[in-house]
Each structure stands twice: as C-alpha cells, then as structure tokens.
Amino acid sequence: MDEGKKKGKAVVVGGSIAGLSCAHALIAAGWEVVVIEKSSGPPTGSPTGAGLGLDPLAQELIASWLGRTHLLHDSTLPLTIDQVIVEVSMRNRDNMRKLSKLLNNWSGTALELFGELNFLTHWKKEFEELETKEEEDFEGEEEDCSLLGVSKDRVSCTSGFGISGSRLQMVQLVKLFVFKIPCEVQMFKKAFENEATDGENNINWTLTRDENFSFRAAHWVDLHSLLYSALPPHIFLWGQLYLSFCVSNDKSNVKLKTKILQTGEIIEIVGELLIAADGCLSSIRRNFLPESKLRYSGYCAWRGVLDFSDNKYLEAITGLRKVYPDLGKCLYFSLGYGTHSVLYELLNQKINWIWYINQPEPELKVSSDMIQKMHEAAEKVWVPELARIMKETAEPFINVIYDCDPLEQIFWDNVVLVGDAAHPTTPHGLRSTNMTILDAAVLGKCLEKWGVESLLSPLEEFQSIRLPVTSMQVLHSRKMGRIKQGLILSDRKPFDPKVATPEECHDLQQKNMPFFGEVP
C-alpha cells in the first residue's frame, strides 16, 4: 500500500464468508474495516452449515489472507475427481402401485408387448401382485411422483394411449408404460446391457468422470473459523442488526443505523463505503431494487453431514465406500430419475450429502414427520448404502433453492453488493462461496488501485470485472440444476441419462462453468 494515501473506512454488513473475505481484502488494501453482523457471535461447532467446494483460485486467495498456506490445506480434503453417475435403487415396489394409480383412467392395447415383459423377471412378482389387486386398493394414494423418479410430465406423455377401459387393460397399460417409456425399468435394461448392476437391488453406471479437478472440500464452519481467526476481533460488531443507510449529499460518506439486539439501542456508524455482504435476501439490495425477486428453482435440497468419527457407523461407511470407492477425493453427483444427489467426504470423518427434490415451493419448517418421509423416500430412490447415510445423519436440514436473474448493476454511489447479495445462485456449479471470495479480492484490488478520493472509478472497475462473470456463472448453474433434475429446458430436451450422448454427459462436468479456469 502507498503510505501517503488517505485511509478509507468500509462498513461491511454481514459477517459470513463474503463479509470476512471483504474484511481481509480491504485490510490488505489499506482500508479500515468494521463488520456488522446480527448473529450474536462467530458460529462454532460442526452443526453450523455443511460442506462446500473451493476452487483453486479461492484456495490461493484464502491462503494469501491467512498468511500460512498449510492452514487451509490442513482443514480441507481434496476433490480431485468430478464424477457423475447414475445410481438408483431398484426396490421400488411402491412406484409400481403409484404408477398404476396415475394411469388408472387410461387403457390401451399392449398385448404384443406382453411377451417381451417376461424377460424382466425382476418385476414378475410385482406384476403378479398388481394383477391380484382390486381397483379400490389404489384409492387415496398420493399422486405426487416427484420422489419416484417419474414426473407427471412424463406420465402425461403417454396420454395418447388414453381410452377408458377395464382394470385388466389398465394393468396391461401399466406394464406397457413401465416397459415403454423412460423409467427405472429402462435404467435396469441399460444397466443390464452395461453389466453395471449388482444383480440385486442397485443399478449404476458412470456418465462422466473428470480426474483433473482441483477443488478442495471444506466444512463451512471451518472455513468461517479460519477466515475469522485471522482478523482482528475488534473490527466485529456482533449482535447488531443493520437497519438503514443514507449517503451524504456530497457522496463523501455513508451513514448507517444499526440496532444492538441485546439492548435495543440504535446507533449510527459512518464510513466512506458500505459493503452489502448481507446474503441472498439482502435488505440493502432491496433498497435499490425493490422489484428484484428471488426465483424459486422448482426444487429443494435435503442436506446433512454424517459424523462417523466415533466408529458407530463403521459398517455403513464401509458399505458406502464400496459403492462410492473414490470418496475422500471425489465429488460424486448421482442422477436418479428427475432427481440428483451430491456426495463427498469432509475432513475429520464426515460425509456431506445433498439430495435435490422437485416440488412446489415449500414452507420452511423441518419436522420429524418430514424427516421420516424423506428417509422412506430415500430408500426407494437411492441405493441402500446412500439411503442409510441419509437416515443415520443427525439433524438433516432443507435448503429451498433460489437464484436471481443477474442484476444490471451492483453498486450505487458509495454502496456495493458482494457475495450472495450481488448474485444469489443455485449451488450446482459450486460457485456461491468461490464467487464471493473473488468478489472480495477484486474489490480490494480496485480500491487499492484507485484510492479513496473517488469511489466511482474503483467501483465501476469492480463491477465491470465481476458482473459479466458472475452473471454467466449464475445462469450456467441454473441450467445445470435443471438438467440434473430432469426439468424442461428452453434450448434442449430434458436430460435423459439412458439416451444421453457422450457430449451431453460431458456437458455435466464442472469444468464447463464459464470462466472456470481463467477468471479475468
């Protein structure tokens, strides 16, 4: 830093990863920083947050802020393989019944296919059971197939067959349906051809595998703790809720009002720059863009971290490692039908998992009943080894997945947005934290270069560097999510693992993220 330059003061709202990263970057740029965070203190303990993946540039930046390169390395595990597999359980007897319920107003002539069904001896018992059932047995069953790997859209594809008919015809049509259109039986067939089934309950095959992935897996709370411990504690105002701001007429400073949550006292804080690091629901962003809305992705994610350090889950982990042999260095994406899960290992004997489920936007209250249903559904959708990990995990939680159409600007006078406040994103490109860290680093460099005399030039430069990159990355991540969830896309057919070309499978790799290896 040039010693002759005037020192600016930045007030950062938000003490999460964006806030801490900005504190590091701006202190390195010679700025004074104060961080306002509504939580009462720094988060501690492993239940806070779950896993995240750090790209090589973010690793480099964090290491430079911490001053000791080994610290980050020692707190993370490698993710050197990015692999997408198809991995589903074939124990879906209930699916058959639910499919038949969906089809029970339809019928058709499928007799010519009857004979062929014999080859699927795996399903023989299910068919026999179905045929002995009365129509009433199907009454009152849930129609929601979102967990079943067969979406209503796909079911309705077959409505061309529809004429009302006898129960026997309906049963026949169920068979036709199961045989003819994409569903688990087709997956079974494919696996059969690929000899990639364990012959009993599971089918799996690899869609794509990239062995040159250089990410590292961190637990959120460990990363937060690393960044926090390397900052002077006096810059943090914990337990303070940001309320409002006002930029002075001459634009030389910005004044904030905050509330000390413990006492209710309102105080004012003045600085040259206000950095909004207040997350995807940013109230500072709303101030400038009241119309800007988050977009619900169409799915939620169950998440959890299983701690297996006490040997209690030895058998479950041994089983899991058989199915996912590269755990400990691999970022696994498992595609089911219209659903997908993510699995990777974290330091200190922890397994991080995420399961994305298509559904209408939900209320956000996790109850024990919901957890129970999730466990039951997992047994039908995923291989038993993964379903077991989900079941054994204490305190699984739900993330409702949102993003936001890219903003046109991310600064106004003395106020700048960073991190999730600037670009709420879906998690499929492992971008959120990486974008955040880079935002902070670029902001620091721009401020250092231009000094504090006028904030227009550094903030314009910051925006011109970051906005095109983050905008493309948010949209790419959105597309990846829709592909992996089997949802409708504007420019192509929904992804179908059974018929996907090698090129389409290759598109699923993380390295296709725009600016993956060369960020400006």
Ligand X SMILES: Cc1cc2nc3c(=O)[nH]c(=O)nc-3n(C[C@H](O)[C@H](O)[C@H](O)COP(=O)(O)OP(=O)(O)OC[C@H]3O[C@@H](n4cnc5c(N)ncnc54)[C@H](O)[C@@H]3O)c2cc1C
Q: Measured from the CB of residue 268, what is the shortest distance to ligand X in angstroms?
A: 15
Residues 236-255, mask of contacts with ligand X (x by CB under 6 A): -----xx-------------
Residues binding ligand X: what is the number (CB under 6 A)? 30
The three-state DSSP-derived secondary structure of 88-118 is EECCCHHHHHHHHHHHCCCCCCCHHHHHHHC
Query: In 158-219, which ranges are continuous DSSP H helix?
Result: 167-180, 184-194
Q: Measured from the CB of residue 420, what is the shortest distance to ligand X in angstroms?
A: 4
Residues 202-221, mask of contacts with ligand X (x by CB under 6 A): ------------------x-
Structure tokens at 109: 């002539």
Q: Measured from the CB of residue 417, what is the shortest distance to ligand X in angstroms?
A: 9
Q: Which of 55, 82, 126, 420 binds ligand X (CB under 6 A)?
A: 420
Tell me what percent of the chain is helix, strand and coil, each rounded to the nearest 5.
40, 25, 35
- Beta pairing class for 330-335 and 415-417: unpaired
Contact stretch for ligand X (CB under 6 A) within 121-129, 180-188, 414-422, 488-496: 414-422
Q: Is 336 in the site for ligand X (CB under 6 A)?
A: no
Structure tokens at 191: 């696996």
Q: Measured from the CB of residue 16, what is the shortest distance to ligand X in angstroms?
A: 3
Q: Measured from the CB of residue 12, what is the shortest distance to ligand X in angstroms?
A: 9
- Length reported for the chain: 520
Q: Which is nearer to ligand X, 41 or 517 (CB)?
A: 41
Q: Could you tell me if 411 and 268 are in contact, meaning their C-beta atoms sit under 8 angstroms apart?
A: no
Q: How far is CA 475 from CA 53, 319, 441, in A?
A: 19, 37, 22
Using CA atoms, how far apart are residues 284 and 419, in angstroms rounded to an integer? 13
Task: Give SS3 for 241.
Answer: strand
Residues 53-92, mask of contacts with ligand X (x by CB under 6 A): ----------------------------------------
Q: Which is nearer to ligand X, 10 or 13 (CB)?
A: 13
Q: Which is nearer to ligand X, 151 or 434 (CB)?
A: 434
Q: Measured from the CB of residue 269, what is the shortest distance to ligand X in angstroms?
A: 12
Contact stretch for ligand X (CB under 6 A) within 9-17, 87-95, 360-368, 447-455: 9-17
Q: Which of 18, 25, 148, 417 binds ligand X (CB under 6 A)?
A: 18
Region label for 322, one of left (φ > 0), alpha (ψ between -120 and 50) or beta (otherwise): alpha
Q: Which is nearer to ligand X, 219 or 482 (CB)?
A: 219
Q: Is 146 in the site for ligand X (CB under 6 A)?
A: no
Q: Is 345 in the site for ligand X (CB under 6 A)?
A: no
Strand order of the β-sheet with 273-276 is: 236-238, 32-37, 9-13, 273-276, 415-417, 411-412
- Using CB positions, name the residue nearest to ligand X: 419
Q: Is 50 in the site for ligand X (CB under 6 A)?
A: yes
Q: Which is nearer to ligand X, 181 or 400 (CB)?
A: 400
Give one DSSP letter per residue of 426-476, joined into a string. -GGGS-HHHHHHHHHHHHHHHHHHH-SS-SHHHHHHHHHHHHHHHHHHHHH
For the segment 27-46, give every residue that binds ligand X (CB under 6 A). Answer: 36-39, 43
Q: Is 49 in the site for ligand X (CB under 6 A)?
A: yes
Closest by CA to 26, choosing from 465, 419, 448, 456, is 448
Q: Measured from the CB of residue 246, what is the shortest distance to ligand X in angstroms?
A: 16
Using CA atoms, how far apart are residues 363 and 360, in angstroms rounded to an integer? 10
Q: Is 17 in the site for ligand X (CB under 6 A)?
A: yes
Give 295's contacts (C-beta < 8 A, 6+ positions apart).
402, 403, 404, 405
Q: Is 434 in the site for ligand X (CB under 6 A)?
A: no
Give 28's contacts (C-beta < 8 A, 6+ positions apart).
65, 444, 448
Q: Is 48 in the site for ligand X (CB under 6 A)?
A: yes
Residues 265-304, mask of contacts with ligand X (x by CB under 6 A): ------------xxx---x---------------------
Using CA atoms, how far apart are residues 51 and 347, in angstroms rounded to an integer? 10
- Give the residues lining the site for ligand X (CB under 6 A): 13-19, 36-39, 43, 48-52, 220, 241-242, 277-279, 283, 419-421, 432-433, 436
